[in-house]
């Protein structure tokens, strides 16, 4: 399968560019960052002073047999130790806090962004992958924001200090010990490149594993019923094995890199000793200098090694942030009007004017789902859409709510182009009952008012009563507070349908859209709902999409669609007279019953 | 920690590699610890050479060569350590994750209805990778530090055992601090992970329900809900951070105390002439060697604590015994079924429900007949058919196929004989062809075409950009409800099942297409058993036998004419549908 490119190939972004963007997120916390850097430097400083105390204890106190002095030095050392501990604690906590604050902001930004993206985006991106962005990709940045940036400062500070000391002591020896540096830098950059590639591959497989898991857990019933456990297992095994191999590749690079860094360090030590052996007699090198350089060498490699350790954090962060920014840069929004028209109390007139629409927007290659569709529904009218599946009926309501924008033509509500009103204003006036009912985990009440608090419990109960789901709800132990599991898995399809009706009614819209929603409810319940809907329709414009003629015969107008075009339009009697598609559907549905 | 024992079988699979890995740890340590000794020798040589003014250029060259040579050997060993221990940890992670999937595949429907998907996904990724950390770095670092620790301690004891004991006084406190903080961290980590699951589930639910959220303009509310969950996660992380931040500074203070004791007591000893300054210096060097093992100890403890917590959660899942599975009662000689179904006094109660969904159902469905089930929402229609492929097991009574209790029939044989179209269609984001072939992987192209023809999806497919290779769902086109149902029907009939179950599977299909599907099915299903749940009388009226379910009981039974004559619920439904038509055709 050609999934590889999806997460993999992203435009070559410069790290500095990504970094600049990432650092931007630290801005609100800049004083905390400054304090954290200061504390980190203090820790390094206090650490560096320690050998000095040892030196005093040995060279001054012990050498002079000064027992009191030794005690004083020891006590001073003790105080230093405690202070250092406290500073280190605050530093560690503060860096963690900065990281958490930053990723909280970032996570909310991504989530907010996702809410804005249009359905077009959701059609293209597997949910599993999007979840990875909001959860683990963000999580990865935590380390970079916390220890990453702060520790880099203290490491760089340390390196500069050491180099300065080295050159001030012995230029030749300094140059000699630093001569291995190019190898280290080359090796590190090579490692960084390889490890980053490997890491990206790892993330890709993790995303695939997540996508697979999400889909097959949701569809476990299908797997089990079709005896597909083994096949699904095999497919999973491929993703899983890919993940393992990508990790093993990455381990190899680490396994080569770390020992190499050690080895380069050892070569530097070798060079120092060798040079000292050759030059000590000329008097240019003293034992003290050699010992100092050996210590410097040791101190020098630690921050460099730490820095390369930070590469790990950094490259991980880069890969994650690349994906996060790619998501944040996705502008598949429904473009909101800059100066939206006021759209408060509407009449509910709907007009489609020469609407052309395709789900794939690549021009010249469109797969038109709607072709030149025009119709008008007057306020308070009910229009019923009839047609074979795939005729484009669902698309009509998708367009009315502006889930997608039309390619050609325009859609008007109350004579105003829906592109010229605020999206939220438009949707507030339309209640949609979808084919696939979606329930949120929470309680019954919350699934009817969707957390909108100005819909009171009385209104919720009233809506439930109108659709006839009140008896069912009252029979539950906790009634309206009864828990609803994820996707409403403990409720029957019919019950879910009724709840989604109640939801639509509770929002009290001007325009009501029913998309085949009555189809799974038994006739008894359906009649109940229909009578409730009749009451509602008196004040509302309604679009009803159903395959059962009985549900739509009461409509003011019936529109018959076929392959994206309006083929017939008129009242029930008019259409029967035309002896067209509607007539044929009518006969098929009822001829048997008439014969009986 | 006990939960981690469950990993032993996984480890033993790679025990040779792991033992080799541990060997490389020992060797690399020997060469690393030896290097300072040679360095010291080199310094001494330099000192002596300067004192005697007889330093040869090559004298120190060999020391330099040894330092580099030892680094090469230690480096190779370190390389091998990572290539063995860490690689094995990834292999075990792989094994574990595969086992995880294969286990949850066996769990019954009820399990998934009661477990949020986000939780299961978090287990499969985060928990397994936390366990992986224990197996890789969690083994490598302790082995490494243990070596350094024991070598240093041995050398210290040899130099001065009294001072060693004094210097080691703070060490038990180190252990206790690690133990105590570890416990706190473990607890806080758990709380944080739980909140992470909540967060994941929230995101997953919001994204899956994007349409509803948008349609009802609930974006701001959803953002607020997510913010609350996210803020809670933030808070829990900070609590964890506090506990974790204490760990290292405390280690440093305690280890520093050791150094303090060494300097003071050792210093007094030197002043009193009981010890040389060289020994004191050596002691301090060794103590500094001990700092890293102590830190690593704390760090690895964390890793182990977290791994153990994760493993405990995994074990809980692994220990969930699949409720529906082959048992010793299973008769493996049954390789196929004919399709005669009998319900004998079947009662079924959903887990955690107070009332029974089905009550005392007695029903015979002869081979090659068609049974239709009619009834109101919640009457138990879906539950009744769900019992046949054993998605649930009966609470009382028994279901027999060909006279055998279905619990005796191997589950895979039972399900292989059934073509099931669930009420809620579920298609995978794969090509249409793959989705249909889900019913039978070995089916050749012609068979798939035939199934698509029968279910009336074939004509729609022709209009799709890549026909049968068109991708569905998240990576391709979106099918309408009716198209989904017809694809789902094609999938079920592709396997030429002995028993076909349509659970309200024509509800979104228009009546014209429905009629065509039913016609084609009648031919195809001759000699096979069909069970159809529907609301439309037109769908069910040709069935050999129609039952009406009401409140979990069969209240009416017979063919269309008989039921009309009975003048019960069925006749009522029929009249209502007829009446509507008459009223409207006026």
Backbone angles phi, psi at B276, to 5 degrees: -90, 160
Q: Would the pLDDT of A3 be above 80?
A: no
- Per-residue confidence (pLDDT) for residue B586, from 0 to 100: 38
Choose, out of A1, A145, A227, the residue to mutate when testing the contact with B (most B CBs < 10 Å): A227
CA dihedral B167, B169, B175, B180 (to 10 degrees): -130
Q: Across the interface, which of A240, A436, A519 has its CB nearest the CB of B98?
A: A240
B84 neighbourhood in chain A, CB within 8 Å: none
Is residue A10 predicted with pLDDT exceeding 60?
Answer: no
CB A472 within 8 A of CB B378: yes
pLDDT at B578: 66
Task: Chain A: give the shortest CA distance to residue B299, in Å.
Answer: 14
B63 CB-near residues (< 8 Å, 6+ apart): A273, A277, B38, B39, B41, B42, B45
Write the residue in A128, A451, A521 that is nearest to B225 by C-beta. Answer: A451
* Chain B residue with the nearest C-alpha to that of A249: B87
Question: In chain A, what residues touch B112 (CB-CB under 8 Å)?
Answer: 217, 220-221, 489
**In chain A, residues 296-335 whose CB comes closer than 8 Å to chain B:** none
Residue B565 domain flag: yes
Residues A232 and A367 in one domain: no
Q: What is the domain count for chain B? A: 2
Q: Which of B35, B49, B67, B422 to mutate to test the interface with A (most CBs of A within 10 A)?
A: B67
Map tokens 């649930």 to a residue. B392
Residues B275 and B233 in one domain: yes
Same domain flag for B204 and B96: yes
Kindly report the average pLDDT of chain A as a whole number: 79
- Helix ranges (DSSP H) in A452-560: 457-467, 470-474, 493-506, 523-537, 549-552
Q: Could you tell me which residues come within 8 angstroms of residue B335 by beta carbon, excluding any fewer than 6 positions away?
A: B413
Indicate whether A302 and A385 sit together in one domain: no
Query: CB–CB of A311/A193 below 8 Å?
Result: no
Tell me the average pLDDT across A210-219: 81
Q: Please indicate if any CB of chain B lies within 8 Å of the CB of A485.
A: yes
Residues of chain A contacting residue B482, judged by C-beta atoms under 8 Å apart: 388-390, 547
CB contact B225 to A (< 8 Å): yes
Domain check: are A75 and A220 in the same one? yes
- For chain B positions 493-512, those within 8 Å of chain A (CB to CB) are 495, 504, 507-512
A4 Cβ under 8 Å from any chain B Cβ: no
**What residues form DSSP beta bridges with B373?**
B533, B547
| Distance (Å, whole) CA B88 – CA B110 | 36
Nearest residue of chain A to residue B267 (CA atoms) = A62
Looking at residue B569, the DSSP 8-state letter turns out to be H
Look at B50 and A280 and tell me if their CB atoms are within 8 Å: yes
Asked if A98 and A29 touch (Cβ cutoff 8 Å), the reply is yes
Buried b (16+ CB within 10 A) or exposed e, B231-261: eebbebbbebbbbbbbbbbbbbbbbbbbbbb
Over the stretch B187-237, which tens digit does the pLDDT of each residue have?
A: 888 888 889 888 888 888 888 878 778 777 788 888 888 999 999 999 999
Residue B200, chain A, CB below 8 Å: the answer is: yes
Both tokens of A344, joined, read 């408060």
Range of the domain at A447: 432-508
Mean pLDDT of A60-68: 79
Which stretches of A364-453 are DSSP H helices? 393-400, 423-428, 444-449
The DSSP line for B260-277 is HHHHHHHHHHHHTTSS-H
Tens digits of residue pLDDT in A287-302: 667 767 776 776 676 6
Does B298 fall in a domain? yes
Same domain, A489 and A566: no
Query: Do residues A486 and B116 touch, judged by C-beta distance below 8 A?
Result: yes
Q: Is residue A2 scored above 50 in pLDDT?
A: no
DSSP-derived letter for residue A180 is T
Domain count, chain A: 3
B37 to chain A, any CB pair closer than 8 A? The answer is no
Q: Do both B275 and B396 map to the same domain?
A: no
Higher pLDDT residue, A387 or A108? Answer: A108
Q: In which domain, by residue range, is B546 found?
A: 334-417+542-586
State whether A80 and A206 are in the same domain. Answer: yes
Smallest Cα–Cα separation from A58: which of B313, B282, B149?
A: B282
Handedness of CA A193, A198, A204, A210 (dihedral sign): negative
* Residue A180 falls inside a structural domain: yes
Q: Which residues of B touch A495 (CB under 8 A)?
A: 377-378
What local confidence, expressed as pLDDT, does residue B91 receive?
92
Q: Is A280–B97 a contact, with Cβ atoms under 8 angstroms apart? A: no
Mark which of B318, B348, B372 sits at the end of a domain: B318
Does residue A416 share a domain with residue A401? yes
pLDDT of residue A404: 87
Q: Are residues A406 and A441 in the same domain?
A: no
- Over residues B156-165, the pLDDT tens digits come to 787 788 888 8
Question: What does the alpha-carbon distance between residue A124 and residue A115 come to, in Å, rounded to a whole number?
Answer: 15
By Cβ distance, the residue of A61, A135, A424 closest to B203 is A135
pLDDT average, residue stretch A417-423:
88
Assign A108 a pLDDT band (cuts: 50, 70, 90). Answer: very high
Based on the domain organization, do B338 and B218 belong to the same domain? no
Per CB-CB distance under 8 Å, the chain B contacts of A89 are 245-246, 249
Whether ipTM > 0.85 holds is no
Proportion of chain A above pLDDT 70, given as a percent: 84
Cross-chain CB nearest to A127 (options B79, B109, B207): B207
Residue B274 placed within a domain: yes
* CB distance A136 to A206 below 8 Å: yes
Same domain, A437 and A425: no
State the best of A142, A273, A565 to mutate against chain B, taking most chain B CBs within 10 Å: A273
Whether chain B has a CB inside 8 Å of the CB on A121: the answer is: no
pLDDT band at A55 (very low <50, low <70, confident <90, very high): low
Report if residue B537 sits inside a domain: no
The CATH number linked to A96 is 1.20.1560.10
CA distances from A311 to A106, A194, A254, A325, A572 (A): 22, 12, 11, 20, 72
CA-nearest residue to B550 within chain A is: A522
CATH of the domain at B175: 1.20.1560.10
| A443 and A424 together in one domain | no
Give B268 or A53, the one with higher predicted confidence: B268
Q: What is the dihedral of CA B568, B570, B571, B572, to 10 degrees?
A: 80
Q: How far is CA B514 from CA A434, B105, B281, B463, in A?
A: 21, 34, 93, 20
Residue pLDDT tens, chain B, 586 long: 677 888 888 888 998 998 999 899 889 888 887 777 777 777 777 767 777 777 666 777 888 888 889 889 989 998 999 899 889 999 999 998 888 888 888 888 778 877 877 788 888 888 888 888 888 888 888 888 788 778 778 877 877 888 888 888 887 787 778 778 877 887 888 888 889 888 888 888 888 878 778 777 788 888 888 999 999 999 999 999 898 888 878 877 887 888 888 888 888 888 888 877 667 766 776 776 676 676 677 678 778 878 888 888 888 888 888 777 777 787 778 778 888 888 888 888 877 677 777 888 888 888 888 888 988 777 788 888 888 888 888 888 888 888 888 888 888 888 888 888 888 777 787 788 878 887 777 777 777 788 888 878 877 888 877 788 887 765 566 777 778 888 888 888 888 888 888 888 877 777 777 778 888 888 877 778 888 888 777 778 888 888 888 878 888 888 888 878 887 778 777 776 665 554 444 3
Return the minimum-mean-pLDDT range out of A217-226, A365-374, A533-542: A533-542
Q: Measured in whole angstroms, how far is the alpha carbon of residue A13 from the centre of its chain?
A: 20
d(CA B539, CA A589): 10
* Cβ contacts of B513 on chain A, cutoff 8 Å: 388-389
Which of A272, A298, A329 is the last residue before a domain boundary?
A: A329
State the pLDDT at residue A593.
Answer: 34
CATH number at residue B559: 3.40.50.300
Residue contact A472–B61, C-beta within 8 A: no
| Whether residues B262 and B307 fall in one domain | yes
Residues in chain B with CB shorter than 8 Å from the CB of A206 are: 125
Q: How many residues does chain A have?
A: 596
Residue B372 phi/psi, 5-degree rounding, is -115, 145
pLDDT value of position A505 = 84
Say if residue B304 is in the same domain as residue B340: no
A448 touches chain B (CB under 8 A): no
Put simply, the chain B residues between 373 and 402 with a CB less than 8 A from any chain A CB are 375-379, 382, 389, 391
């Amino acid at each position: 399968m050609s999934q590889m490119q999806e997460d993999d190939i992203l435009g070559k972004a410069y790290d500095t560019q990504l970094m600049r963007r990432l650092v931007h997120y630290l801005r609100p916390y800049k004083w905390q960052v400054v304090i954290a850097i200061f504390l980190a430097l203090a820790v390094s400083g206090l650490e560096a002073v320690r050998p000095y105390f040892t030196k005093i204890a040995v060279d001054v106190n012990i050498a002079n047999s000064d027992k009191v002095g030794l005690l004083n030095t020891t006590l001073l050392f003790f105080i230093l130790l405690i202070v250092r501990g406290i500073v280190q604690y605050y530093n560690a906590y503060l860096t963690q806090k900065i990281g958490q604050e930053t990723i909280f902001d970032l996570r909310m930004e991504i989530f907010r962004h996702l809410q804005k993206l249009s359905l077009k985006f959701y059609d293209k991106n597997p949910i599993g992958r999007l979840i990875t962005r909001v959860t683990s990709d963000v999580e990865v940045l935590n380390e970079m924001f916390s220890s990453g940036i702060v520790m880099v400062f203290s490491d760089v500070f340390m390196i500069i200090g050491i180099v300065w000391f080295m050159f001030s002591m012995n230029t030749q020896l300094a140059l000699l010990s630093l001569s291995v540096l190019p190898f280290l830098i080359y090796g590190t950059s090579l490692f960084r490149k390889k490890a980053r590639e490997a890491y990206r591959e790892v993330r890709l497989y993790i995303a695939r594993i997540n996508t697979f898991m999400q889909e097959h857990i949701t569809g476990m019933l299908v797997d089990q019923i079709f005896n597909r456990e083994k096949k699904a297992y095999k497919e999973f095994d491929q993703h899983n094995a890919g993940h393992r191999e990508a990790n093993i590749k990455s381990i190899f690079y680490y396994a080569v890199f770390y020992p190499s860094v050690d080895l380069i360090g050892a070569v530097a030590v070798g060079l120092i000793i060798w040079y000292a052996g050759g030059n000590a007699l000329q008097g240019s090198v003293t034992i003290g200098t050699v010992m100092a350089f050996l210590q410097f060498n040791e101190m020098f490699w630690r921050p460099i090694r730490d820095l390369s350790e930070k590469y790990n954090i950094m490259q991980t962060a880069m890969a994650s942030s690349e994906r996060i920014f790619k998501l944040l840069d996705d502008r598949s929004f429904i473009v909101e009007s800059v100066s939206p028209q006021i759209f408060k109390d509407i009449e509910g007139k709907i007009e489609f004017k020469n609407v052309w629409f395709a789900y794939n927007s690549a021009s010249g290659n469109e797969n038109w789902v709607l072709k030149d569709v025009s119709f008008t529904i007057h306020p308070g009218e009910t229009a019923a859409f009839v047609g074979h599946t795939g005729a484009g009926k669902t698309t009509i309501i998708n367009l009315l709510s502006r889930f997608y924008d039309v390619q050609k033509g325009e859609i008007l509500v109350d004579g105003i182009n829906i592109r010229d009103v605020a999206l939220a204003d438009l949707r507030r006036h339309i209640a949609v009952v979808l084919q696939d009912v979606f329930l949120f985990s929470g309680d019954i009440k919350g699934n009817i008012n969707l957390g909108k608090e100005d819909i009171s419990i009385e209104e919720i109960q009233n809506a439930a009563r109108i659709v006839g789901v009140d008896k069912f709800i009252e029979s539950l132990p906790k009634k309206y507070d009864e828990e609803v599991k994820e996707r409403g898995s403990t409720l029957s399809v019919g019950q879910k349908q009724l709840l989604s009706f109640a939801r639509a009614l509770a929002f009290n819209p001007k325009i009501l859209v029913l998309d085949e929603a009555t189809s799974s409810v038994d006739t008894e319940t359906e009649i109940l709902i229909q009578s409730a809907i009749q009451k509602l329709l008196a004040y509302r414009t309604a679009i009803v999409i159903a395959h059962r003629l009985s549900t739509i015969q009461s409509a003011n107008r019936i529109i018959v669609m076929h392959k994206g075009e309006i083929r017939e339009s008129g009242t029930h009697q008019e259409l029967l007279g035309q002896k067209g598609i509607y007539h044929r559907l009518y006969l098929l549905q009822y001829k048997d019953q008439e014969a009986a | 920690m006990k939960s981690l024992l469950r990993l032993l079988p996984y480890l033993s699979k790679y025990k040779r590699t792991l033992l080799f890995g541990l060997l490389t740890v020992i060797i690399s340590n020997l060469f690393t610890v030896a290097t300072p000794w040679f360095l010291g020798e080199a310094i001494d040589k330099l000192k002596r050479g300067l004192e005697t003014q007889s330093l040869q250029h090559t004298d120190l060259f060999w020391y330099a060569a040894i330092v580099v040579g030892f680094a090469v050997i230690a480096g190779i060993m370190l390389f091998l350590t990572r290539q063995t221990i860490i690689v094995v940890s990834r292999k075990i992670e792989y094994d574990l994750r595969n086992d995880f999937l294969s286990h949850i595949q066996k769990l019954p429907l009820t399990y998934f209805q009661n477990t949020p998907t986000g939780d299961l996904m978090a287990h499969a990724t985060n928990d397994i990778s936390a366990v992986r950390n224990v197996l890789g770095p969690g083994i490598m670092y302790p082995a490494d530090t243990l070596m350094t620790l024991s070598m240093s301690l041995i050398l210290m004891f040899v130099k001065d055992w009294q001072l060693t004991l004094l210097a080691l006084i703070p060490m038990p406190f180190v252990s206790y601090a690690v133990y105590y903080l570890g416990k706190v961290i473990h607890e806080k980590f758990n709380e944080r992970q739980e909140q992470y699951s909540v967060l994941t589930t929230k995101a997953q639910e919001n994204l899956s329900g994007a349409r509803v959220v948008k349609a009802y303009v609930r974006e701001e509310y959803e953002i607020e809900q997510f913010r609350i969950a996210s803020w809670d996660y933030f808070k829990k992380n900070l609590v964890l951070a506090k506990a974790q931040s204490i760990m290292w500074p405390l280690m440093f203070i305690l280890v520093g105390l050791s150094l303090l004791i060494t300097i003071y007591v050792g210093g007094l000893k030197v002043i009193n002439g009981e010890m040389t300054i060289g020994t004191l210096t050596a002691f301090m060097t060794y103590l500094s060697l001990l700092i890293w093992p102590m830190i690593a100890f704390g760090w690895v403890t964390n890793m182990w604590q977290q791994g153990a917590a994760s493993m405990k959660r995994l074990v809980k899942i692994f220990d969930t015994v699949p409720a529906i599975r082959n048992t010793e009662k299973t008769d493996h000689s049954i390789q196929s079924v004919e399709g005669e179904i009998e319900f004998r006094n079947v009662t079924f109660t959903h887990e955690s429900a107070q009332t029974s969904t089905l009550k005392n159902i007695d029903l015979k469905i002869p081979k090659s007949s068609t049974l239709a089930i009619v009834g109101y929402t919640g009457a138990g229609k879906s539950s009744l058919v769900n019992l046949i492929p054993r998605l649930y097991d009966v609470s009382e009574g028994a279901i027999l196929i060909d006279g055998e209790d279905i619990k005796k029939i191997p589950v895979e044989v039972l399900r292989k004989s059934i073509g099931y179209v669930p009420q809620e269609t579920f298609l995978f984001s794969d090509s249409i062809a793959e989705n249909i072939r889900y019913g039978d992987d070995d089916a050749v192209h012609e068979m798939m075409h035939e199934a698509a023809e029968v279910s009336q999806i074939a004509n729609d497919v022709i209009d799709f950009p890549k026909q049968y290779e068109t991708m569905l769902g998240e990576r391709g086109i979106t099918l309408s409800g009716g198209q989904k149902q017809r694809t789902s029907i094609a999938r079920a009939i592709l396997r030429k099942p002995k028993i076909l179950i349509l659970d309200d599977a024509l509800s979104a299909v228009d009546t014209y297409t429905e009629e065509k599907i039913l016609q084609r099915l009648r031919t195809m299903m001759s000699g096979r058993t069909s069970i159809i749940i529907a609301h439309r009388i037109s769908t069910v009226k040709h069935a050999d036998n129609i039952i009406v379910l009401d409140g979990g009981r069969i209240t009416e039974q017979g063919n269309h004419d008989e039921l009309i004559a009975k003048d019960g619920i069925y006749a009522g439904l029929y009249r209502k549908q007829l009446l509507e038509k008459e009223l409207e055709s006026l």
